Homo-oligomer: A and B are copies of this chain.
């Protein structure tokens, strides 16, 4: 049984709490939040606290708070066992030197109201010694089938790549929806295309999967499209089309 505490009450913390509560190999010992009301609903299942001095010694303490608060927060911790944060963009070295530092980064987009299948969520782990990496691997494996050892430099790049494949992609979905809304077309007509676009690249590389006028260098269609777009849409259409053309020339 791995004994674990979670410090935080946001999206990532909440999803991890749920995953650990379900995992047979994990005992969730304690949850901390600076605002006790945010975790009051847990008090029948686990110990809760709003004071770092009250933290109970465990095998792994997970800091799941906002990125820019992690370093400073870690200075107030004085605990044994591995202390791992969950951030994609914070280096392991940003944690206080007195701690046995680690990273436990679940690479997924978490929303409050959507359940996440943790068994399919990659968890990127990092630590400064073998003992710590072993326990983090064991903990990650208790909730996920996809555990990767990733160093801080790689994690920073992963986080950056995630902005392209998640944040920017989602914004393009939004732009597609705006075009539909404007012409009273149900956006759901595009849902299966969106699903298939995402599925395809699990089997072939995105480069092989590329289709469309920019890849075919179909100037006529591109011209027709541009004539239908606003200045703002045009800018994005042109830049991405040029980028596709360059990739496939």
Residues in A lying within 8 Å of B, measured CB to CB: 67-68, 89, 107-109, 111, 114, 116, 120-122, 124, 146, 148, 150, 153-154, 156-158, 160-177, 179-180, 182-186, 188-207, 209-215, 220-221, 224-225, 228-229, 232, 235-237, 239-240, 243-244, 246-247
Q: Are B221 and A67 in contact (CB under 8 A)?
A: yes
**With a CB–CB cut-off of 8 A, which chain B residues contact A179?**
157, 160-161, 164
* Contact A190:B174 (CB < 8 A) given known A109-B196, A167-B214: no
Q: Are B239 and A193 in contact (CB under 8 A)?
A: no
- Residue of A124, A180, A198 with most partner-chain B CB within 10 A: A198
Q: Are A211 and B171 in contact (CB under 8 A)?
A: no
* Contact A190:B207 (CB < 8 A) given known A108-B196, A170-B197, A212-B166: no
**With a CB–CB cut-off of 8 A, which chain B residues contact A175?**
161, 164, 243
Closest approach, in angstroms, between the C-beta of A153 and any C-beta of chain B? Answer: 7
Q: Are B170 and A209 in contact (CB under 8 A)?
A: yes
Q: Are B157 and A201 in contact (CB under 8 A)?
A: no
Residue of B whose beta carbon sits closest to that of A225: B160
- Given contact pairs A107-B192, A161-B180, a sample of 18 additional A-B residue pairs in the complex whose CB atoms are under 8 Å apart: A146-B189, A154-B185, A157-B179, A158-B185, A161-B176, A162-B193, A163-B237, A166-B211, A167-B211, A169-B172, A170-B206, A174-B206, A177-B207, A188-B202, A191-B202, A195-B202, A235-B239, A236-B243
Closest approach, in angstroms, between the C-beta of A164 and any C-beta of chain B? Answer: 4
A-B contact pairs, 9 of them (CB 8 A): A109-B200, A109-B209, A158-B185, A161-B190, A165-B172, A167-B214, A169-B169, A174-B210, A194-B198
Q: Are A146 and B192 in contact (CB under 8 A)?
A: yes
User: How distant is the Cα of A116 from the Cα of B129 in the complex, in angstroms?
Assistant: 47
Q: Are B185 and A157 in contact (CB under 8 A)?
A: yes
* Contact A193:B232 (CB < 8 A) given known A161-B180, A211-B167: no
**With a CB–CB cut-off of 8 A, which chain B residues contact A211?**
109, 166-167, 170
Taking a contact as CB atoms closer than 8 A, the residue among B89, B184, B201, B232 that contacts A173 in the complex is B201
**With a CB–CB cut-off of 8 A, which chain B residues contact A107?**
189-190, 192-193
**With a CB–CB cut-off of 8 A, which chain B residues contact A109?**
193, 196-197, 200, 209, 211
Q: Are A213 and B170 in contact (CB under 8 A)?
A: no
